[in-house]
Structure formats: structure tokens, C-alpha cells
């Protein structure tokens, strides 16, 4: 009892020192931990039974058993989807009954199929344009979902349209005007089209999907989401998927779902067993040297290296390239096409080192990564879960290494607390590491020069040229596009006036 009391006092003191946001987050953690404890105590027996039943079901259950249309079962077979995943087994039958679904699931658990297959099933029964709308927080995720719909629906004539920022607005408008069956969109760009494209409306939508809803809300798309929900018909099915349950997500659920069936397959803040997690406690100035050492020691594997800023991403990539390692940066300030190109390079195994900000920690369909390195420790503990979730997926093993500097101790301890366990120390010989010091320093100087050239090319502004409304660094302070009518009117007036005066001058 006395020990418990001491722990509580420590927590309270920590809470007082943090900012409001942190405090709120901490409270959420406490609530979740509390619930988790209860559930563990109450349902431990059932868990055992559940695992046995799951094993049995997993061997028998097929797509057809879930009630899917024959054409869709065939499409799944052609895509070599062997059997439904856990989230799919849970969600698809409920969705086929016509109920709203709220799913708590991680990326990689198959939730895209969990909502795509029921939607396509319903579409085959009642073909209709503008049938389903899928909202996602990032454009990369939107493209990924679009590819899945195309793959599943290519044999049955499905037309999809991906509407995201950073692409040509008029070209997207022309695609939307063709009335595709499925629209996959980021909220900001979709609102632009709803406000500016004459005749475009979503009143016929039958299915709404909000994928990664916690991300949508965290990226301050609340205004856009509210606008979209207002113009959607009330008689619709709604699927909401989220990796975490936050207050905002709960609020959204209450506002937009009717008697949803909750499907929960995520292990709360747990990492899979095949994941080997370790840390390195090192001085901050030797981070680069240790990173190079790790890459050399584990050469032959594919890597994802997470940095905290776009600048760090580029600098680290340039340094690694100077050392002869093939490294690809991926961050929020890159243009949409460059991001996709980087992803395609990494997917094609042309490169085996992807350096990114948290924009790539979740959502993106990146193939299996052998090693995840947290070069900069994440500021949000939950982001650690998403980062290391890039490896050890689908039953495969993986490694996660976190570089902890003298300034990161507190953040690191928070992560360990969230995981409920201590990570092992990554062993390496300091002499071997320091032997690389001179070469790494030289590479750092080269990278610094190249980075300076890049910034000069960009016009002296790091963030000036490539602001997109749904990128990772979006702060929510976005200029809304003016209505087309006003702009058009102004344009017309000046246009007419100019012509008239020109005509006079010429004569």
C-alpha cells in the first residue's frame, strides 16, 4: 500500500510539470491502463478459449464463409489473399448485415479489406455511381487504398477516383465529374471540390469510411470533416477505423455512427512477440557514427530510419549517400510525386534504406522492413508503437533499435512505461564504432554542403515552396480557397475590360 501511494505521488508530480496537452494525454493513458487491467483480470480465461477457437476458425474459414459475393472471392484468390485476417473475420459479416462498424485496428491488420470487400459486395448488388466515400488523413494512404480497390474491383468494372492535395485540381475535378463508384479523398481537397465544382454533390453516397480517424482528427481536419458530414445523406452506412481511441474519436463516433458494432483486434500498445526491441544510450554528437555502425553491422537488411524533422531526414540521407549507402528520404515537405517516387524506389528494392519523418510511420503500404531505427526518439509515446510497427509484420520477425541521447531519457522512460517492459541494450563495441568517426565526420561535412545547396535552390526558405494541406507538417492554419464564383466574376470583369481597351488602342 505504501509503495502504491509513492507511485501515485510520483505520477502527480510529473503531471504538474507537463503541458496541458501532455497532461491530457497522460490522463488518457491512465484511463486506458486502468481499463486494460480490468479487462485482463476479468477475461483472462476467455482469452485462452478465444485463442483456441481462433486457431480452429483460422484453418476453416474462407472468404465465402463470410458471405462475400462469388466474384469478390475470386478476386481475393487472384490477389493471393489466403484467408481473412482477424479484423476481416470480425468486421465483414457485421458490415454485410448493414450495420455501422467501428474498428480498432493497426495498419497491416487488413482493415482496408475489412471495409473494401463489404462495400464492393453491396455495390455489386445495387450498382450506383458515387457509391462510397473513403476519407483518409494522408495522400499516401489514399493512393494505397485506391490501389486496393482497383485490384479487388478490376474484374467487375469498378471506377475509383483518388482526390488528394498536391495534385492538379482541375484534372481531379474532371475525374470526379465522371461519377466514379468509389471516392478516396483527404478531407481538405474534397471540401475544395464540394465548394468550387458546380454540380458535384455527395447526396447519393451509401457508404462512408473514415480510415485512421484518430489521424484525421489529430491533423486538424475537424472543420473539413464537419463540412463533409453535413453534406452526406443521413441514410448511409459508416465505417470508422482507428488505431487508438481518443476523446475526439469518441465524439466523432457519437456524431456520425448509428448503433455501431465495435470490432477490436488491436493489442493495446503492445508490440508483437517477434519484434526484438533494443536501445542505445549514447552522446548526441555520436548519433551519426552509431547509426552508420548499425547499418554496417546489419548490412543486407532493409531499414527504416525515423528522424524528427524534414531537415534531419535530408541531412542524414545525404550523409549516408556520401558514405556509399543507398538512402532515400521521405518527408512531408516533398512534393506528392516525389513521395510516391521515393516509395516506389523503396518498394522495388532499389534502395534498402528509407529515412523519413513520422509521415511514413503508419498508413503507407511499405513492404516488410527488417530493421527500424529510431534515430530521433518520438515525442509522442504512441508514435513509437506506430514506428516499430513497420517491422515484424504478418508473422515475420524484425528489429527495432532506438538511439537515446542524454536529452532523451525522459521520453524514453515514457515509452518503456507505455510498453510495460524494459528494452534490452543493443550491444556494440565502442572501439569499432569510433573507428568510423573520421569517415563519418567527412561525410557530415559533405552532407552539410549539399544541404546548403539544396536550401539555396529552394530559394532560401525551407518550407516556402511546397506547402500542402494534408502533409505531415500541416499545422491547420490553411487558407481556404475562395469560392469560384467570385474569382470567376472578377476574372471576367478584368478580362472584358482589357479586351475592350485593347481593341480601342489597336484601332
Partner 1 sequence: MKQKHSKNRAKPYKKPTPARRNERFSKNYSFIQRSKQMEESHRRERMPTAPKQEYEPVAELLPEIQDDVDETEFYKKLITGVNNIPTSDILRSKAEKEEDHVIPVPRKIKPKKEKRSEQLGVDLEIYNSFSKRFDFELSTDNINDLIARKDVKTIKRNWSALGNVRFDIPRLTEDFKEPDCSEPKDIASTEDLQKLEVKASICANAKLPLTALQSQLFYIANNYQDIYYPHRTHGNAEDIRYVYCLHALNHMLKVRSLILRNNEKVSALAKSQKMSPNEISIPESFRDQGLKRMKVVFVVPFRESALRIVNILGDLLFGSQDDQARKTSIANYERFLGDYSGNTIYFPKTNPKPMDYEQTFSGNTDDNFKLGIRFTKKTMSLFSDMNASDMLIASPLGLRMLVTDKESDFDFLNSIELLIIDQAELFLAQNWENLLHSLDHLHLQPQKLPDTNCQRVRTWCLSGASSFYRQTLFFSSHELPEFRAVFNSKCNNYQGKVRDSNLVEHGDIRNVLTPIHQVFRLINCSSVETTFDDRFQYFVKNIMPQFSKPGFSHCMLYVPSYFDYVRIRNHFKTEMVSFVQINEYTKKEKISRARDIFFHSGASVLLYSERAHFFRRTRIKGIRNLIMYQPPNFPHFYSEIINLMLKTNQNPRDGFGDEMSVSILYTKYDLLSLSNIVGSENAAKLTSGQKDSYLFSTKT
Name the helix (H) or strand (E) containing 240: strand 237-242
Angle (CA) 6 378 459, round 5°: 145
Which residue, 386, 489, 382, 467, is CA-closest to 188? 467
* Burial label, 276 (beta-carbon count in 10 A; 0-12, 13-18, 19+): middle
Contact pick of 201, 278, 296, 350 for partner 1 (by CB under 8 A) = 201
Contact pick of 34, 49, 247, 498 for partner 1 (by CB under 8 A) = 498
The residue among 278 and 495 lying less far from partner 1, judged by its C-beta, is 495
Q: Is 256 annotated as a binding residue?
A: no
Three-class DSSP category at 395: coil
The residue among 367 and 483 lying less far from partner 1, judged by its C-beta, is 483
Contact pick of 178, 254, 285, 461 for partner 1 (by CB under 8 A) = 178
The residue among 283 and 491 lying less far from partner 1, judged by its C-beta, is 491
The residue among 155 and 483 lying less far from partner 1, judged by its C-beta, is 483
- What secondary structure does DSSP assign to 316-333, as a single string? HHHHHHHTT--EEEE-TT
The residue among 129 and 258 lying less far from partner 1, judged by its C-beta, is 129
Minimum distance of partner 1 from residue 189's CB (angstroms): 12
Cα–Cα distance measured from residue 454 to residue 456, given in angstroms and rounded to the nearest whole number: 5
Say whether residue 486 binds partner 1 (CB under 8 A).
no
* Burial label, 83 (beta-carbon count in 10 A; 0-12, 13-18, 19+): middle
Contact pick of 14, 15, 173, 428 for partner 1 (by CB under 8 A) = 173
Q: Is 110 annotated as a binding residue?
A: yes
Minimum distance of partner 1 from residue 129's CB (angstroms): 8
Stretch that binds partner 1, among 74-82, 189-197, 285-293, 405-413 (CB under 8 A): 189-197
Minimum distance of partner 1 from residue 458's CB (angstroms): 23
Q: Is 112 annotated as a binding residue?
A: yes
Contact pick of 21, 41, 42, 170 for partner 1 (by CB under 8 A) = 170
Residue 253 in grid coordinates: 463516433
Q: Is 273 annotated as a binding residue?
A: no
Rule CB under 8 A: which of 94-133 touch partner 1? 129-130
Contact pick of 56, 204, 435, 441 for partner 1 (by CB under 8 A) = 204
Rule CB under 8 A: which of 3-62 touch partner 1? none
The residue among 71 and 229 lying less far from partner 1, judged by its C-beta, is 229
Which residue, 197, 170, 224, is CA-closest to 484? 197
Cα–Cα distance measured from residue 125 to residue 132, given in angstroms and rounded to the nearest whole number: 14
The residue among 169 and 261 lying less far from partner 1, judged by its C-beta, is 169
Whether the Cβ atoms of residue 176 and residue 161 lie closer than 8 Å to each other: yes
Contact pick of 177, 298, 451, 454 for partner 1 (by CB under 8 A) = 177
Minimum distance of partner 1 from residue 163's CB (angstroms): 13
Q: Is 109 annotated as a binding residue?
A: yes
Cα–Cα distance measured from residue 202 to residue 439, given in angstroms and rounded to the nearest whole number: 58
Q: Is 107 annotated as a binding residue?
A: yes
Q: Where are the beta strands (DSSP E) in 282-422?
A: 303-306, 327-330, 353-356, 371-374, 398-404
Count of residues near partner 1 by CB under 8 A:
35
Which residue, 372, 307, 411, 364, is CA-closest to 25? 411
Residue 403 contacts by C-beta under 8 Å, 6 or more apart in sequence?
A: 279, 280, 282, 287, 290, 291, 373, 374, 375, 376, 377
Say whether residue 501 binds partner 1 (CB under 8 A).
no
Contact pick of 1, 171, 348, 477 for partner 1 (by CB under 8 A) = 171
Cell numbers 471576367: residue: 492
Which residue, 279, 271, 272, is CA-closest to 373? 279
Rule CB under 8 A: which of 135-164 touch partner 1? none
Say whether residue 197 binds partner 1 (CB under 8 A).
yes
Which residue, 277, 279, 278, 275, is CA-closest to 404? 279
Cα–Cα distance measured from residue 332 to residue 286, given in angstroms and rounded to the nearest whole number: 26
The residue among 227 and 439 lying less far from partner 1, judged by its C-beta, is 227
Contact pick of 199, 300, 395, 486 for partner 1 (by CB under 8 A) = 199
Residue 87 contacts by C-beta under 8 Å, 6 or more apart in sequence?
A: 103, 105, 109, 110, 111, 114, 263, 265
- Going by the annotation, the residues of the binding site for ATP are 105-112
Residues that bind partner 1 in the complex, under the rule CB under 8 A: 129-130, 169-171, 173-179, 193, 196-201, 203-204, 484, 487-488, 491-492, 494-496, 498-499, 502-503, 506-507
Amino acid at each position: 500500500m505504501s509503495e502504491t501511494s509513492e507511485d501515485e505521488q510520483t505520477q502527480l508530480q510529473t503531471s504538474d510539470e507537463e503541458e496541458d496537452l501532455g497532461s491530457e494525454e497522460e490522463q488518457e493513458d491512465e484511463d486506458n491502463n486502468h481499463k486494460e487491467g480490468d479487462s485482463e483480470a476479468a477475461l483472462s480465461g476467455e482469452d485462452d478459449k478465444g485463442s483456441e477457437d481462433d486457431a480452429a476458425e483460422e484453418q476453416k474459414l474462407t472468404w465465402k464463409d463470410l458471405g462475400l459475393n462469388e466474384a469478390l472471392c475470386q478476386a481475393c484468390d487472384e490477389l493471393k489473399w489466403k484467408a481473412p485476417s482477424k479484423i476481416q473475420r470480425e468486421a465483414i459479416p457485421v458490415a454485410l448485415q448493414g450495420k455501422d462498424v467501428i474498428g480498432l485496428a493497426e495498419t497491416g491488420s487488413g482493415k482496408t479489406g475489412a471495409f473494401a470487400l463489404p462495400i464492393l459486395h453491396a455495390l455489386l448488388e445495387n450498382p450506383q455511381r458515387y457509391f462510397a466515400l473513403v476519407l483518409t488523413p494522408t495522400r499516401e494512404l489514399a493512393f494505397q487504398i485506391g490501389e486496393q480497390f482497383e485490384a479487388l474491383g478490376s474484374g467487375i468494372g469498378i471506377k475509383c477516383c483518388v482526390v488528394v492535395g498536391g495534385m492538379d485540381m482541375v484534372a481531379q475535378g474532371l475525374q470526379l465529374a465522371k461519377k466514379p463508384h468509389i471516392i478516396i479523398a483527404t478531407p481538405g481537397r474534397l471540401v475544395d471540390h464540394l465548394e468550387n465544382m458546380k454540380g458535384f454533390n455527395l447526396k447519393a453516397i451509401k457508404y462512408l469510411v473514415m480510415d485512421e480517424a484518430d489521424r484525421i482528427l489529430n491533423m486538424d481536419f475537424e472543420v473539413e470533416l464537419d463540412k463533409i458530414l453535413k453534406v452526406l445523406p443521413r441514410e448511409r452506412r459508416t465505417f470508422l477505423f482507428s488505431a487508438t481511441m481518443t476523446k475526439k474519436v469518441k465524439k466523432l463516433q457519437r456524431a456520425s455512427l448509428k448503433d455501431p458494432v465495435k470490432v477490436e483486434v488491436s493489442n493495446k500498445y503492445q508490440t508483437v512477440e517477434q519484434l526484438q526491441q533494443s536501445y542505445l544510450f549514447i552522446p548526441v554528437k555520436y548519433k551519426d557514427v552509431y547509426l552508420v555502425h548499425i547499418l554496417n553491422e546489419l548490412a543486407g537488411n532493409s531499414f527504416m530510419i525515423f528522424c524528427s524533422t524534414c531537415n534531419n531526414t535530408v541531412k542524414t540521407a545525404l550523409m549516408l549517400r556520401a558514405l556509399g549507402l543507398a538512402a532515400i528520404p521521405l518527408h512531408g515537405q516533398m512534393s506528392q510525386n516525389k513521395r510516391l517516387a521515393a516509395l516506389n524506389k523503396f518498394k522495388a528494392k532499389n534502395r534498402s534504406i528509407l529515412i523519413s519523418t513520422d509521415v511514413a510511420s503508419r498508413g503507407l503500404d511499405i513492404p516488410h522492413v527488417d530493421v527500424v531505427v529510431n534515430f530521433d526518439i518520438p515525442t509522442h509515446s504512441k508514435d513509437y508503437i506506430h514506428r516499430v510497427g513497420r517491422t515484424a509484420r504478418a508473422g515475420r520477425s524484425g528489429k527495432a533499435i532506438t538511439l537515446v541521447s542524454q536529452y532523451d531519457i525522459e521520453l524514453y522512460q515514457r515509452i518503456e512505461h507505455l510498453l510495460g517492459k524494459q528494452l534490452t541494450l543493443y550491444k556494440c563495441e565502442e572501439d569499432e564504432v569510433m573507428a568510423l568517426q573520421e569517415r563519418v565526420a567527412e561525410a557530415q561535412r559533405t552532407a552539410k554542403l549539399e544541404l546548403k545547396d539544396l536550401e539555396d535552390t529552394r530559394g532560401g526558405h525551407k518550407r516556402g515552396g511546397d506547402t500542402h494541406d494534408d502533409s505531415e507538417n500541416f499545422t491547420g492554419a490553411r487558407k481556404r480557397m475562395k469560392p469560384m464564383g467570385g474569382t470567376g466574376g472578377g476574372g471576367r470583369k478584368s478580362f472584358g475590360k482589357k479586351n475592350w481597351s485593347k481593341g480601342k488602342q489597336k484601332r
